[in-house]
């Protein structure tokens, strides 16, 4: 009889634990999806996600979860994938993110990834200033990219018209644009790490830097929809913490991260190069958003953000990011 009574007590305790756990997860909310697709673009700016892919962070934390990482050429491609539901977590520049928000896509940043000083590169020694780029071919990832927004800011400051260089804009992903610049097929490339470092190493020079015109600003962030966050709140909040842990690894063990990035890139660039670039002040990995409202205001004023505008930077990020003292 005692054994039966003990068994009944254990069953009751287990049932109570299940009820408590279910309540903690939001009344039956799933802890994690069965499958997740994470998309990002080429470049070391996505190092936190590349680290998570290399270390199988999500797979280890959620046994049975299928995780697929996709590398796509632009923020526009990632936006389209998220709208169609084929991508669950999209890492993109602040430009496409803000354009999507303005157009009514219900999404926010779950984890900013970094700030970056974006360089406008040219190989022709006669191109020394922004004024020398009138009528020239200038590559950016898309017309709505953060690079295109920074180019318009440079044109506004130096030429008095944010649209002065629009006619020369060419949409091209960074790897292709780097090759085109070095081959003389385009005149300039407003790019990002590591491509700006590689281009300078191969004979190109810096015409302008975004920080000089706009101040320090966020570059990339991981984005999820409001619907995804509601359905998988615990998973999303943990994702923020996992990104923060990956960023901590960048700062505490740059040698290890350099090896991970080099392995992901197939050995070119080398670990030595990546370690050097990680320490370059042109890129800072952080989950604190900076300048989102400045960027939104400028893009709205220059006609890039049709539709709604945020009233605060907190409108653009999910709760885990709120304590970071962003802007």
Which residues are bridge partners to 157 per DSSP?
none
Residue 4 clears pLDDT 90, i.e. is over it: no
Query: Structure tokens of 78?
Result: 């990632």
Q: What is the pLDDT of residue 74?
A: 87
Closest CA to 183 of 209, 165, 169, 203: 203
* Model pLDDT for residues 49-84, shown as the tens digit of each residue: 999 999 999 999 999 999 999 999 888 899 999 999
* Model pLDDT for residues 6-57, shown as the tens digit of each residue: 444 444 444 444 333 333 333 446 789 999 999 999 999 999 999 999 999 9
Q: What is the mean pLDDT of residues 89-105?
A: 97
Neighbouring CB atoms inside 10 A of 60's CB total 9
Q: How confident is the model at residue 307 (pLDDT cuts 50, 70, 90)?
A: confident
Termini Cα distance of the chain = 66
Q: Is 16 helix (H, G, I), strand (E, B) or coil?
A: helix
Please enumerate in sequence order all residues whose Cβ is within 8 A of that of 104, keeping only pairs 6 or more positions apart, or say none: 307, 308
Please give the domain boundaries of the chain with CATH numbers for all domains. Answer: 35-116+217-324 (3.40.190.10), 119-214 (3.40.190.10)
Range of lowest pLDDT (4-13, 174-183, 211-220): 4-13
Q: What is the pLDDT of residue 29?
A: 60
Say what the alpha-carbon torsion angle 6, 8, 13, 18 is, to the nearest 10 degrees. Answer: 150
* Model pLDDT for residues 13-24, shown as the tens digit of each residue: 444 443 333 333
Please enumerate in sequence order all residues whose Cβ is within 8 A of that of 73, keeping only pairs 6 or more positions apart, or say none: 41, 42, 141, 173
pTM above 0.75, yes or no: yes
DSSP 8-state assignment for residue 323 = G
CA distance 139 to 150: 12
Range of lowest pLDDT (7-16, 27-36, 87-96, 272-281): 7-16
Q: What is the pLDDT of residue 24?
A: 37
Bridge-based pairing of strands 119-122 and 205-209 is: antiparallel
Q: What is the mean pLDDT of residues 305-317?
A: 95
């Amino acid at each position: 009889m005692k054994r039966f009574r003990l068994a009944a007590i254990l069953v009751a305790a287990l049932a109570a634990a299940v009820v408590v756990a279910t309540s903690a997860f939001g009344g039956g909310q799933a802890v994690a999806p069965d499958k997740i697709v994470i998309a990002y673009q080429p470049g070391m700016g996505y190092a936190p996600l590349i680290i998570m892919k290399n270390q199988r962070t999500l797979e280890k934390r959620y046994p049975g979860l299928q995780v697929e990482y996709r590398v796509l050429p632009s923020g526009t491609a990632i936006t389209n994938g998220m709208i169609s539901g084929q991508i669950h977590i999209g890492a993109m520049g602040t430009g496409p993110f803000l354009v999507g928000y303005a157009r009514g896509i219900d999404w926010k940043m779950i984890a900013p990834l970094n700030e970056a000083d974006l360089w406008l590169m040219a190989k022709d020694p006669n191109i020394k200033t922004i004024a020398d780029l009138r009528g020239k071919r200038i590559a950016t990832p898309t017309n709505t990219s953060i690079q295109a927004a920074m180019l318009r800011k440079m044109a506004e400051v130096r030429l008095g018209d944010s649209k002065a260089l629009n006619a020369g804009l060419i949409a091209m992903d960074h790897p292709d644009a780097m090759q085109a610049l070095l081959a003389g097929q385009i005149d300039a490339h407003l790019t990002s790490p590591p491509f700006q470092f590689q281009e300078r190493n191969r004979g190109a020079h810096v015409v302008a830097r975004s920080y000089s015109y706009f101040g320090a600003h966020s570059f990339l962030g991981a984005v999820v929809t409001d619907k995804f966050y509601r359905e998988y709140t615990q998973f999303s909040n943990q994702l923020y913490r996992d990104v923060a842990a990956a960023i901590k690894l960048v700062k505490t063990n740059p040698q290890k991260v350099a090896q991970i990035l080099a392995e992901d890139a197939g050995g070119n660039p080398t670990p030595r190069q990546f370690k050097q670039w990680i320490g370059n002040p042109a890129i800072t990995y952080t989950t604190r958003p900076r300048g989102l409202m400045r960027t939104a205001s400028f893009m709205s004023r220059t006609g890039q953000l049709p539709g709604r505008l945020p009233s605060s930077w907190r409108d653009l990020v999910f709760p885990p990011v709120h304590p970071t003292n962003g802007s």
